[in-house]
Amino acid sequence: MKISNGASLKSAIEINPEKTSQLLENFIREYVRKLEREGVVLGLSGGIDSAVAASLCQKAVGQDKVLALIMPEKDSDPRQKEDALSLAEQLKIKTRIINLSPYLKKFGIYGLLPFYRLPLTRGLKGSLTRKLYDLYTKKTGQNPFLASQIGFKNGKLKLYLKNANAYYRIKHRLRSLLLYFYSELENRLVVGTTNKTEYKIGFFVKWGCDSVSDIMPLQNFYKTQIRELARYLKIPNSILEKPPSPDIIPGITDEKAIGVSYDILDLILAGLEKNWEISEIAKACNLSKEKVLYVKKLTENSEHMRKIFVFNHD
């Protein structure tokens, strides 16, 4: 049936959080059993997605079988670590804090963006980062997130973009490495925390902790649906109410990086998934067609992040 307005489109992606939680708990429990693991391990960032995943894991296998790795580094917001620890205490799950900075220094990561070595406060670094982000967008006509989804052989300011990508992507890849180290060491199942919105638009690091795991319980749920689950699971307001952020470079929130709020993104993606015309989605969401086309381009450009291209000789 054709959905004719934004309110109806919004209702189409609403979920029953109690039933959904039960189904996801069963899913996690089933794969722990099927793959003969003695528990689960996940990265706990202090954000809403990992908080929901941790809560579901605790309900699925019990608090004694959940290990949460908290993996900050020198660019991390201290509040994220505090929120992660507070949630872990609430859930009574085990934690291990691993400071990534010494490992990243060995790669020379912190030298890739020289201004980050200046004796600036976190607030000033964040302000400078946002200004550079806006400057790149103004100079090139597209934001760094879109520009980074595919190569930029002939792109403007590509040295800045290459260094920035190398700077932050290794952080998620290192976290993935550590998750699998503890998975093997303690015979645990690695639980991923990516949601459908981020997966569809490529807002994750390929081969990083957001894309590599044994199971992905949240990958078929939009960000707004994750929020519904979070409220049902009684995730603390300190996590629920703060602006989502990848917490890899000071000053960059999800909305700043993407350029669209999750509430709007989810409606657009739902319309695209139903094969609506661009004009229909724009009208239903009260948006310009350019905004809808931008989101569609994100999904197209990031296709390579969701698959491996294999030569077929048949």
DSSP state, residue 259: S
Which pLDDT band, with edges at 50, 70 and 90, does 267 fall under? very high
Which pLDDT band, with edges at 50, 70 and 90, does 153 fall under? confident
**Burial status of residue 155 (CB atoms within 10 A of its CB: 0-12, 13-18, 19 or more):** middle
What pLDDT is attached to residue 63? Answer: 98
Averaged pLDDT for residues 193-211:
96
Which pLDDT band, with edges at 50, 70 and 90, does 122 fall under? confident
Averaged pLDDT for residues 30-50:
98
Q: What is the mean pLDDT of the chain?
A: 93
Q: Dihedral, CA atoms, 46, 48, 54, 56, nearest 10 degrees?
A: 170
Sequence-distant (6+) residues with CB within 8 A of 252 are 126, 129, 130, 133, 245, 246
Distance CA 198, CA 192 (A): 13
**For 235-256, how does the pLDDT look when each residue is reduced to its tens digit (9 = 90+)?**
999 999 999 999 998 999 999 9
Averaged pLDDT for residues 163-182:
96
The alpha carbon of residue 194 and the mean position of all alpha carbons in its chain are separated, in whole angstroms, by: 5
b/e burial code for range 6-33 (CB count within 10 A of at least 16 → b): beebbeebebebeebbeebbeebbebbe
Distance CA 291, CA 255 (A): 14
Averaged pLDDT for residues 23-40:
98
What are the CA-CA distances from residue 269 to residues 55, 77, 193, 246, 289 (Å)?
A: 27, 30, 19, 21, 14
Percent of the chain past pLDDT 90, that is, above it, reads 82
What pLDDT is attached to residue 5? Answer: 66
**Burial status of residue 90 (CB atoms within 10 A of its CB: 0-12, 13-18, 19 or more):** middle
Give the residue with greater pLDDT, 313 vs 200.
Answer: 200
Identify which of 242, 47, 250 has the alpha carbon closest to the alpha carbon of residue 130.
250
Window from 2-6, 85-89, 260-264 with minimum mean pLDDT: 2-6
**Sheet holding 66-70: strands in order across?**
94-97, 66-70, 40-43, 189-190
3-state secondary structure 49-104: HHHHHHHHHHHHHCHHHEEEEECCCCCCCHHHHHHHHHHHHHHCCEEEECCCHHHH
Identify which of 64, 36, 67, 30 has the alpha carbon closest to the alpha carbon of residue 217.
30
Percent of the chain past pLDDT 70, that is, above it, reads 97
Q: What is the pTM of this model?
A: 0.94
**For 51-99, how does the pLDDT look when each residue is reduced to its tens digit (9 = 90+)?**
999 999 999 999 999 999 999 999 999 999 999 999 999 999 999 999 9
- Sketch out the chain's domains with CATH numbers: 6-304 (3.40.50.620)
Residue type, 143: N
